[in-house]
Amino acid sequence: MTEDSPEEHSVRPHLLLFVGATLISLSPIWVRLVTVPPTVSAFYRVLIGGIALVIFLMVTRQRLDLSRRILVMLLVAALFFSLDLWFWHRSIAYVGPGLATLLANFQVFFMMLAGILLLAQAPRARQLVAVPLAIMGLALLVGFEWQTLTANYRFGIGLGLLTAMAYTGYLLSLRTARSLSSHRMPTREVAIVSLTTALLLGISVGMEGASLLIPTPADVGWLFAYGILSHCIGWLLIAASLPKVTATEAGLALLLQPALSYLWEVLWFGRVLTVMEATGAVIALAAIYLGSRN
């Protein structure tokens, strides 16, 4: 059965959506668990996930069937995605999985800005309300006294915001490629982006003087979980369910990822959230939800 078949999953779409979001929320946990450098873990995520997607395409007997213009946009998307992962993996090391993932989801505000500047789209009232809410939530999360934060923590916050900017470029490029494609699900596109991103990150690993050697069997397991569960299966579940769920459910799935990343950080690494930090996280998540609504 191919991805374009009228026979779809018998499982309820919203269940697939939230299972996919849960799997993706584990992404920063795998990054934190492995002992390899940030760029190396990013490389194996997209390499393993990309190969899995190619195998899926081969098993379901699907051809690439993409135009040259689409391929060019996918190359642009891969460049932005490699920057996204490069920034994000380092942000996780400095500020933790929860906050790094929350900052990455600030892409909704950069998407809104891109819509204003590039597409002449007027923001809706709730989106304008979301911006100061997000700033307030972030201030509560990191503290109002910026100078009291360590240099590494401030650097990690900056990397998180750069992640959101790079992710915006990735989404805009992928959206352009998808607008030119006749296929319902973007499996082909993401497979190409994943493998091209792996190539770019592999070059970066070489320039950084790092090694692609995976030191322990545990690291192999974490990296395969990252590439297969989070990058491949999690994404496929979300892509399959999005056309069949409401905008509210899609927005809640967007919030589920950083919220669960905080939860996993508490359970796995013993992070303790103060009342002020928890309040800030809730406010920031609400702002992301408002900003994502069209």
pLDDT the model gives residue 1: 40
Residue 9 has pLDDT above 50, yes or no: no
pLDDT the model gives residue 6: 40
* Residue with more model confidence, 113 or 195: 195
Average confidence (pLDDT) over 132-160: 84
Q: How far apart are CA 9 and CA 257, in angstroms?
A: 23
* Residue with more model confidence, 65 or 254: 65
Q: Residue for token digits 């994943």?
A: 194
pLDDT the model gives residue 129: 82
Task: With CA atoms as reference, report the closest residue to 110 among 131, 92, 96.
Answer: 131
pLDDT tens digits along 203-243:
999 999 999 999 999 999 999 999 999 999 988 888 778 76
pLDDT the model gives residue 294: 60
Residue 175 has pLDDT above 80, yes or no: yes
Task: With CA atoms as reference, report the closest residue to 201 among 43, 8, 23.
Answer: 43
pLDDT the model gives residue 170: 92
8 Å CB contact between 293 and 251: yes
User: What pTM was computed for the model?
Assistant: 0.86
- Cα-Cα-Cα-Cα dihedral of 105, 107, 111, 117, to 10°? 150
Of the ranges 37-51, 146-160, 194-208, which one carries the lowest mean pLDDT score?
A: 146-160
- Cα-Cα-Cα-Cα dihedral of 282, 284, 290, 292, to 10°? -120
What are 49's two structure tokens? 């996930």
Which of the four pLDDT bands, split at 50, 70 and 90, describes residue 59?
very high
* Residue with more model confidence, 294 or 107: 107
Helix then strand count (H, E) for the chain reads: 13, 0
Write 251-254 long-range contacts (CB < 8 A, 24+).
251/289, 251/292, 251/293, 252/18, 252/289, 253/17, 253/18, 253/20, 253/21, 254/21, 254/105, 254/108, 254/288, 254/289, 254/292
Average pLDDT score over the chain = 86
pLDDT the model gives residue 2: 45
pLDDT the model gives residue 247: 63
Residue 178 has pLDDT above 60, yes or no: yes
8 Å CB contact between 264 and 118: no
Q: How far apart are CA 189 and CA 207, in angstroms?
A: 27
Q: Could you tell me the residue ranges of all domains in the chain? A: 13-292
∠ CA 146-261-279, nearest 5°, is 50
Average confidence (pLDDT) over 12-36: 90
pLDDT the model gives residue 97: 92
Query: How much of the chain, in percent, has pLDDT values that exceed 70?
Result: 91
Which of the four pLDDT bands, split at 50, 70 and 90, describes residue 293?
low
pLDDT tens digits along 98-145:
899 989 988 888 888 888 887 777 777 777 788 788 888 888 877 767
Residue 3 has pLDDT above 60, yes or no: no
Amino acid at 9: H
